[in-house]
């Protein structure tokens, strides 16, 4: 896909910068951070906020059984900054209305913008509990969960889901209609089968099928790496906006870059790497901070021609001070970038 010229970039910004009503609330724009387990933590979101341009952010996936009694002072995932709550949606995975309703009420009481039901995660530990993408195997149960949560809360209700467990898009289309009837305010759709670990490209036409089937907003998600990818998704699928995941970890300034004339400076990668290290140190203990930083480096290193070598230096670091030494020594403005980050290069 060819890079966008100035006219097309302006067209992209114009489409993304339109406010959108979700339930009883309004979001400033249509470019959002996708929920990312292990990555979309409070420290990353703080750094992301510093760049601007992100209309709505989602937490990491939280467990429905834990949320009702979980302390944000202790929890590594159910944690936030007060300043971000008006633009923050809490994503929760659970299997039954009995699990999800108390979690939804807690999220509403804490002041989140909205509540997101995870029906997309296909990690075996989640699926074995009949949560995440497992709910797509039982559409009636999935709808019962949505109906129960809708009755329990008044804040916007989101659902993140996939095509399903077969390539056929029709079950997802039917579910989308049932989700709308059950009271969902917005759908975020990833057009891959649940078992697919990004070995095949997402099927963009499936986003259009879902978006055309309902009157509530549908956001597209999946392999949006460049501004051209983003504009193509908007123009070909009829989606209301775009949800960006792994690429947001690689280049968090993309939200500002795609929605405004912002141009990142030559020192953007080094500055980002240092800011994230500092934010992780503020929000987490040393062991958790280092673990989360190592996970981040998978996507950060995908920006560079010799990314594997760079990541190997990070993985040798034994603490956050050594992480900073790697940044100072190895991340320089002349580090050669790839034209298109390959976010599947590490096969995770």
The catalytic residue positions are 121
Q: Counting Cβ atoms within 10 Å, is residue 234 exposed (0-12), middle (13-18) or buried (19+)? A: buried
How far is 340 from 220, CA to CA, in rounded Å?
20
193 backbone dihedrals φ, ψ, rounded to 5°: -65, 155
Q: Quick one: tokens of 206?
A: 């499936």
Q: Quick one: tokens of 7?
A: 């006219």
Q: Are 159 and 146 in contact (CB under 8 A)?
A: yes
Q: Are 153 and 164 in contact (CB under 8 A)?
A: no
Q: Are 127 and 87 in contact (CB under 8 A)?
A: no
- Classify 164 in phi/psi space as left (phi over 0), alpha (psi -120 to 50) or beta: left
Which residues 6+ apart lie within 8 Å of 193 measured at CB? 162, 163, 164, 165, 166, 167
How far is 190 from 118, CA to CA, in rounded Å?
12
Closest CA to 145 of 127, 157, 162: 157
């Amino acid at each position: 896909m060819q890079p966008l010229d100035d006219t097309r970039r302006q067209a992209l910004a114009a489409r993304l910068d339109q406010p959108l009503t979700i339930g009883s609330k309004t979001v400033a724009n249509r470019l959002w951070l996708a929920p990312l387990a292990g990555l979309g933590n409070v420290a990353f979101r703080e750094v992301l906020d510093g760049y601007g341009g992100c209309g709505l952010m989602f937490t990491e996936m939280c467990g429905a059984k834990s949320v009702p009694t979980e302390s944000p002072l202790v929890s590594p995932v159910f944690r936030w900054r007060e300043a971000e709550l008006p633009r923050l949606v809490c994503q929760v995975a659970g299997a039954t209305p009995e699990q999800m309703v108390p979690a939804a009420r807690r999220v509403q009481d804490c002041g989140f913008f909205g509540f997101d039901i995870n029906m997309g995660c296909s990690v075996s530990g989640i699926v074995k509990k009949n949560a995440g993408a497992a709910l797509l195997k039982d559409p009636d149960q999935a709808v019962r969960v949505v109906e129960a949560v809708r009755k329990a809360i008044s804040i916007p209700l989101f659902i993140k889901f996939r095509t399903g467990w077969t390539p056929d898009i029709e079950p997802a289309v039917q579910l989308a209609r049932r989700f709308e009837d059950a009271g969902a305010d917005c759908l975020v759709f990833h057009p891959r089968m649940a078992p697919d670990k990004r070995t095949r490209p997402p099927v963009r036409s499936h986003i259009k099928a879902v978006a055309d089937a309902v009157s509530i907003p549908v956001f597209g998600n999946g392999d949006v790496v460049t501004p051209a990818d983003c504009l193509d998704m908007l123009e070909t699928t009829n989606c209301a906006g775009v949800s960006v995941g792994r690429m947001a970890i690689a280049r968090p300034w993309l939200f500002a870059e795609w929605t405004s004339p912002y141009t990142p400076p030559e020192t953007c990668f080094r500055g980002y790497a240092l800011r994230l290290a500092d934010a992780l140190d503020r929000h987490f203990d040393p062991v958790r901070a280092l673990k989360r930083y190592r996970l981040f480096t998978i996507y950060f290193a995908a920006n560079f021609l010799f990314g594997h070598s760079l990541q190997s230096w990070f993985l040798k670091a034994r603490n956050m001070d050594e992480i900073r030494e790697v940044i100072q020594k190895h991340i320089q403005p002349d580090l050669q970038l790839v034209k298109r980050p390959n976010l599947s290069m590490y096969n995770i």
